[in-house]
Structure 1
């Protein structure tokens, strides 16, 4: 696997830069596995099939200077800031289930090697003690698969809870009462 690094002369870039970087790597670099990590200013990222008005408190985001972007991958709405880590994994593997499983297990195994009791849950979450610490999403372009995700380290929970507004049905279906009850921080 090739770890991609960026020149840090401009450490703060918008989310769109990193999403474009994933796709550039997938379309233009020779076949292989690539991985990189990144951080962004406060941002809400929603999946390709989500309705922003159902998932994001737009007024809260405007009042707190939180950017909003749609991504090409599916999955749920996530909040990111400079105190959590975003990952991108690009591979020539085309089997969605195997690619997703490989990526999620790689990240979970890395956390376990650090002494953190991480487990995979469902298709796209990494949990610690039954609480979500990482959400991940996937999309495919011809010849390449792209998986990206979040790792909640010391995320601003107030902004996360204020910016993201999942429906009550979604929370109940997961057996939880609030976003705050469902997540944990890596720190």
Structure 2
């Protein structure tokens, strides 16, 4: 696996999370999709909350707190929940070719767990998206498929500002209880806590040494593509919290173990037919979701009518077409 490296004349100091997410996309398009090599890199950012593509951001994080405390807020293109990052933790990025995104994701989380076990830690990966040390979360991961390639990435909590993380992230009580905890802080651990003699720089060095065996040097042309790709992360429609997309539509929240949390808003007209559907949450998608939801407009809000209109398989990881239809049709 090759380490992704930047041109000598290019500095990444102070770059936002959107920059590094754009690096992953460019490497996926320009390299992984047309080669047999895998690619990996580490990155760090000033205090930032990164939310999954489907999240209603104002539900999962305290946006006022983030603004008043200088915490950047970025929506990534992969699914999953919200994570807090700062210069005391490390982000992992993994890019590989192919179309088997679920297999790639499992390989990535297993690779991260194996790295931690090589350091003497009792690490394991969950069936969904977490890496644990002795049952406590140390890394949350997500995936994204682009044509011909897959991206898997995650945060590694070497250390963190627990107070800022606790204030910035506001997951539902149901989500916390599903993990057997009552607060964000009680659910996580850190590398520094588990290995107090290992410095952050040494951890980074060992990670690169044990996971990579070569280098990919990005070109000036690659970096121009990265900066152009980064701009898409800051388009107003992409950055928007998303809740209330269909004005006046009541929302309900449901959690499906092993799949994720869903915030569901369905608008209907006076005739009872669907006029708009929005799904928010920390679930993962395997393909475009909103165009599928938009195709339900004009249908009655019944499980049978919705299921008949949905593609098979459904574009939500872990859900059958019928299960997705039931979520949308359920009024309770």
TM range (shorter): over 0.9
Tell which structure's C-alpha radius of gyration is larger.
Answer: 2
CA positional deviation for 1:93: 3.0
Q: Give the structure with the larger strand fraction.
A: 1
Q: Distance in 2 between matches of 1:9 and 1:90?
A: 22
| Worse-matched range after superposition: 42-51 or 87-96 | 87-96
Aligned residues: 187
Q: Distance in 2 between matches of 1:80 and 1:28?
A: 27
Output aligned runs, 1:1-187, within 5 Å: 1-6=1-6, 7=8, 9-29=11-31, 30-31=34-35, 32-187=37-192
Q: Distance in 2 between matches of 1:43 and 1:72?
A: 16
Q: Distance in 2 between matches of 1:176 and 1:93?
A: 37
Q: Distance in 2 between matches of 1:112 and 1:12?
A: 31
2:261 is matched with which residue?
none
TM-score, normalized by length of structure 1?
0.96
TM-score, normalized by length of structure 2?
0.55
Q: RCO (CA 8 Å, sep 6+): is it higher in 1 or 2?
A: 1
CA positional deviation for 1:124: 1.0
Q: Which runs of 5+ in 1 are unaligned?
A: none
Cα 1:9–1:71 change in 2 (3 A) is closer
Contact 1:39–1:84 under 8 Å retained in 2: yes
Q: Distance in 2 between matches of 1:116 and 1:137?
A: 22
| Worse-matched range after superposition: 101-110 or 7-16 | 7-16
Give the root-mean-square deviation of aligned CA atoms: 1.2
